[in-house]
């Protein structure tokens, strides 16, 4: 069967001619993108003069000023009068910066054994966090417990309601509808996670796969800002990947891109839930690793944190297990790197972030199995930038990526969830000396 037999002949249509009804939509899209460009410039280069934002973004000074007014009104941007700058000619510049004190976001990462719930500022810094072990994997129970933890964090730390909740989770996630289509490890299928959490929290909710979330986090807040293409691997209880070019993640048909858990690993005898032997996730997942470690008496109970701690304090057997897993992950890195040829590869494996021997094993295995760019592995293969706050950042990155793409839209949705209009007082925390 040929490709055309399978999918049918290509359909050729004439380019649509924009009518009066499509023009406002296009204009709204441009306005959202331009406001996002202004806010990202403030994040990456702030404190920064409006004239410099205009130069960086290519927007007119008038447009930058207009967007700055809107963003300051919304509470996500502020002037810093105490850092007035002058080049000696003309009017001094009052720089602007992302306001990290008035607004914040909520983050939830749903893992196989627990949920991590957090509050973050708009620069991605974790303000508070709570780990919520699962008493049941029933979606309703998981959501209620996570929402309860978020309520406790908000009560303990005060301030205005978050702009929304970013939720990251493994498996097949339809980000557009906020639905977990399939998560075999949790036993979830067609779970309307966004709807359930919005009902429990009263906030706007944004949901995505955790590897895509961390990919967006690396691009926005981490080490991939300048990379033209990035491959991200998440190695936890769930093993999956995400790929982006020019800052845009590839979602694939039905948002299924990145499902690498069933890649075959030569020599592995691990039995997968799919019925096959040697699948990547069954071989290198945390649950598989800690089960073997507990069976060998290296840790008192199956808990990845115990194994990582043992390795960090010098337990040679624990280090050896993590090194061996890194070598297996390195094979997958090599395969995917040869296929996608990314400029940067980021691997979320806590052991690679904390233990030099594990990172060296990961890179060495990738170098051994690569068909291309072998001499550049140390340059392009990196551990996560979010060591110590990976899961909090994963959830936060879902909403922060949306915010920095369309800040006015996010502010409008936040206001709608509160039943009012955009106003900086919604995010207000009094700060003397800062202009609003």
- Are 126 and 170 within one domain? yes
Give the residue numbers spanning the domain of 235.
Answer: 226-383
Q: Quick one: tokens of 164? A: 């929304």
Q: In the listed set 98, 122, 157, which residue is the last one of a domain according to the structure?
A: 98
Could you tell me which residues are beta bridge partners of residue 96? 48, 79
The confidence score (pLDDT) of residue 267 equals 85
- Are 243 and 131 within one domain? no
Those residues of the chain that have pLDDT short of 50 are 1-25, 421-422, 424, 428-436
Is 243 among the domain residues? yes
User: How many of the other CB atoms lie within 10 Å of CB of 315?
Assistant: 15
Q: Quick one: tokens of 285? A: 């997942």
Rg (CA), the chain: 23
Q: What is the longest distance spanned by two Cα atoms in the chain? A: 73
The confidence score (pLDDT) of residue 418 equals 77
Is 250 among the domain residues? yes
Q: What does DSSP say about strands 104-110 and 165-169: parallel, antiparallel, or unpaired?
A: parallel
Is 181 among the domain residues? yes
The confidence score (pLDDT) of residue 29 equals 80
**Burial readout 32-57 (b: 16 or more C-beta within 10 A, e: otherwise):** bebbbbbbbbbbeebbbbbebbbebb
Is 88 among the domain residues? yes
- Are 270 and 359 within one domain? yes
DSSP code of 59?
Answer: -
- Are 240 and 321 within one domain? yes
Is 428 among the domain residues? no
Among 403, 407, 408, smallest CA distance to 165 is for 403
**Residue range 257-303, pLDDT digits in tens:** 999 999 999 888 899 989 999 999 999 999 999 999 999 999 999 99
The confidence score (pLDDT) of residue 392 equals 98
Domain count, the chain: 3
CA dist., res. 416 & res. 313, Å (int): 50
Q: Is 164 helix (H, G, I), strand (E, B) or coil?
A: coil
Which residues, at least 6 apart from 16, have a Cβ–Cβ distance to it below 8 Å? none
- Are 269 and 367 within one domain? yes
- Are 247 and 368 within one domain? yes
- Are 375 and 233 within one domain? yes
User: How many of the other CB atoms lie within 10 Å of CB of 229?
Assistant: 17
Stretch (H or E) spanning 91: none
- Are 91 and 204 within one domain? no
Is 361 among the domain residues? yes
Q: In the listed set 335, 350, 383, which residue is the last one of a domain according to the structure?
A: 383
The confidence score (pLDDT) of residue 27 equals 62
- Are 230 and 332 within one domain? yes
Q: What is the CA angle 322-324-330, rounded to 5?
A: 100
CA dist., res. 26 & res. 367, Å (int): 46
DSSP code of 271?
Answer: B
The confidence score (pLDDT) of residue 429 equals 37
CATH number at residue 110: 3.30.420.40
- Are 70 and 121 within one domain? no
CA dist., res. 63 & res. 201, Å (int): 36
Q: In the listed set 98, 115, 136, which residue is the last one of a domain according to the structure?
A: 98
Is 321 among the domain residues? yes
CA dist., res. 296 & res. 287, Å (int): 14
CA dist., res. 240 & res. 228, Å (int): 21
The confidence score (pLDDT) of residue 47 equals 95
CATH number at residue 94: 1.10.10.10
- Are 230 and 379 within one domain? yes
Residue with tokens 């009804």: 21
The confidence score (pLDDT) of residue 436 equals 36
The confidence score (pLDDT) of residue 266 equals 87
Q: Is 39 helix (H, G, I), strand (E, B) or coil?
A: helix
- Are 186 and 242 within one domain? no
């Amino acid at each position: 069967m040929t490709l055309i037999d399978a999918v049918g002949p290509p359909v050729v249509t004439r380019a649509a001619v924009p009518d009066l009804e499509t023009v406002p939509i296009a204009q709204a899209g441009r306005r959202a993108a331009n406001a996002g460009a202004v806010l990202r410039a403030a994040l990456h280069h702030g404190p920064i003069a409006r004239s410099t934002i205009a130069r960086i973004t290519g927007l007119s000074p008038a447009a930058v000023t207009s967007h700055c007014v809107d963003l300051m009104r919304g509470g996500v941007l502020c002037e810093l009068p105490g850092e007035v700058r002058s080049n000696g000619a003309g009017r001094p510049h009052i720089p602007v910066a992302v306001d990290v004190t008035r607004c914040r976001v909520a983050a939830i990462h749903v893992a196989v054994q627990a949920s991590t719930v957090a509050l973050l500022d708009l620069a991605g810094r974790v303000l508070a966090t709570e780990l919520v072990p699962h008493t049941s994997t029933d979606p309703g129970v998981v959501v209620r417990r996570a929402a309860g933890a978020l309520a406790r964090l908000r009560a303990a730390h005060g301030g205005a309601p978050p702009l929304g909740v970013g939720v990251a989770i493994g498996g097949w996630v339809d980000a557009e509808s906020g639905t977990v289509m399939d998560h075999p490890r949790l036993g979830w299928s067609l779970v309307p996670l966004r709807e359930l959490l919005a009902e429990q929290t009263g906030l706007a909710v944004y949901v995505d796969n955790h590897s895509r979330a961390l990919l967006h986090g690396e691009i926005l807040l981490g080490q991939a800002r300048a990379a033209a293409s990035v491959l991200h691997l998440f190695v936890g209880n769930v093993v999956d990947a995400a790929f982006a070019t020019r800052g845009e993640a590839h979602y694939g048909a039905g948002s299924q891109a990145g499902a690498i858990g069933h890649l075959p690993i030569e020599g592995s005898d691990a039995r997968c839930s799919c019925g096959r032997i040697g699948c990547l996730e069954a071989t290198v997942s945390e649950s598989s690793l800690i089960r073997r470690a507990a069976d060998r008496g290296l840790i008192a109970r199956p808990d990845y944190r115990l194994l990582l701690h043992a390795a960090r304090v010098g337990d040679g057997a624990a280090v050896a297990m993590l090194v061996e897993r890194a070598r297996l992950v390195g094979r997958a890195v090599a395969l995917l790197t040869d296929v996608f040829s990314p400029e940067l590869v980021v691997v979320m494996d806590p052991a690679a972030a904390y233990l030099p021997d594990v990172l060296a094993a990961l890179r060495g295995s990738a170098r051994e199995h690569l068909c291309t760019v072998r001499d550049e592995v140390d340059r392009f293969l990196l551990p996560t930038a979010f060591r110590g706050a990976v899961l909090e950042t994963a959830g936060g990155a879902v909403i922060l990526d949306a915010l920095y793409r369309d800040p006015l839209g996010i502010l409008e949705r936040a206001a709608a969830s509160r039943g009012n209009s955009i106003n900086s007082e919604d995010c207000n925390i009094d700060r003397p000396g800062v202009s609003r």
